[in-house]
Amino acid sequence: MPVLFAVIAAVFYGVGDVLGGVGVQRSGRKGAAISMAAVANITSVVFLGVVLLISPPENVNTGDVLWPALAGLLMAATRPLLYEGMARGPITVFAPGFGLTMIAVPSLAGPFIGESLSVMEVLGVICAVPAVVLLSSQDGLPKLNEILKSRVIGLSLVVGTNIGLAGIFTSRADPEAGQLPVLIILGMGVLLLTPAARIRSGSFWPDIEVRKFGLMLGCTSGIAFILSTAAYMRGSVAVITALIALCPGVSVVVAWKFLKEKISTLQIFGGVFGVVSVILFAMGA
């Protein structure tokens, strides 16, 4: 089940990335990216609040609150950095950079947090590495000098490390806490991103495009957070993170189908590696 949860979460994250990108482009206003994140977080919190009323947690311990709070702080601080890196580009350097880093962090931390991977899961992580790189390489693979001289390589390492650590923190919560950890993670985003959006955009009230797409993004990301958190609390952090890192593949397919963007041969090969990775994880589960 954790593998299935993570795969479906990756689908919703990938769809959400496209919605967020289109919304920011249509808005064109200063601070639109952070405003989009703030609206999405507020929508997700309302959505999660309703879910909690319908299905309250069975049992809540201190760790079920503190660990998700730390994960929420990291994710809230990382979202603006993620948008900044994507805006600076090149995306072919930044996206694989943070994707590979977020996979590496829980994989390297596994022995220190009491996790070990099966042979199939190790092979799955290995296949996820070229999948992430190729799926982000629409305009070709980045050259070595481009990577070394890039302004965003350091930023990609920070973003990837933060996301990887957030996954580890989330996994410390107990499944009996239900959806409360998800609400805490997203709630921290509301507390931090709402005032940040006010400072960047100069207004508490975002424009119609940000509100419209932020509402849709809030629903998709809310579902994605529910599924990914459930997966983290029940499965291997390294496996779940590697699966979620494949979400750009979903974004590529959605952009091809609905935005008429082209898919390169490299991205097709990346998709093949991604499918093989999912199969290996499923076999190792």
Q: What is the pLDDT of residue 90?
A: 66
Q: What is the pLDDT of residue 245?
A: 87
Residue 180 in contact with residue 58, Cβ under 8 Å?
Answer: no
Q: What is the pLDDT of residue 46?
A: 92
pLDDT at 277 over 70: yes
SS3 breakdown of the chain: % helix, strand, coil, rounded to 5? 80, 0, 20
User: Residue 35: what are its φ and ψ, rounded to 5°?
Assistant: -60, -40
Tell me which residue range forms the domain holding 35: 2-284
When pLDDT is averaged across residues 5-17 and rounded to a whole number, the result is 90
pLDDT at 147 over 80: no
Average pLDDT over the chain, rounded to an integer: 85
Residue 159 in contact with residue 87, Cβ under 8 Å?
Answer: no
pLDDT at 136 over 80: no
If DSSP codes are grouped into helix, strand and coil, which group holds residue 135? helix
Q: What is the pLDDT of residue 184?
A: 94
Lowest mean pLDDT among 2-6, 142-146, 151-155, 225-229: 142-146
Q: What is the pLDDT of residue 63?
A: 92
- What is the crossing angle of helices 153-171 and 237-244, to 10°? 130
Q: Among positive and negative, which fits the CA dihedral 217, 221, 222, 223? A: positive
pLDDT at 89 over 70: no
Residue with tokens 């409360």: 180
When pLDDT is averaged across residues 39-58 and rounded to a whole number, the result is 89
Q: What is the pLDDT of residue 283?
A: 84
Q: Which residue has the higher pLDDT, 87 or 279?
A: 279
- pLDDT tens-digit profile of 158-217? 988 999 999 999 999 999 999 999 999 999 988 888 887 777 766 667 788 888 988 998
pLDDT at 240 over 70: yes
When pLDDT is averaged across residues 46-70 and rounded to a whole number, the result is 91
* Spatial separation of the C-alpha atoms in residues 192 and 214, rounded to whole Å: 17
Q: What is the pLDDT of residue 228?
A: 94
Number of domains in the chain: 1
- pLDDT tens-digit profile of 60-86? 999 999 999 999 999 988 877 877 776
From the number of C-beta atoms within 10 Å of its C-beta (0-12, 13-18, 19+), residue 10 rates as buried
Q: What is the pLDDT of residue 175?
A: 92
Q: What is the pLDDT of residue 146?
A: 65
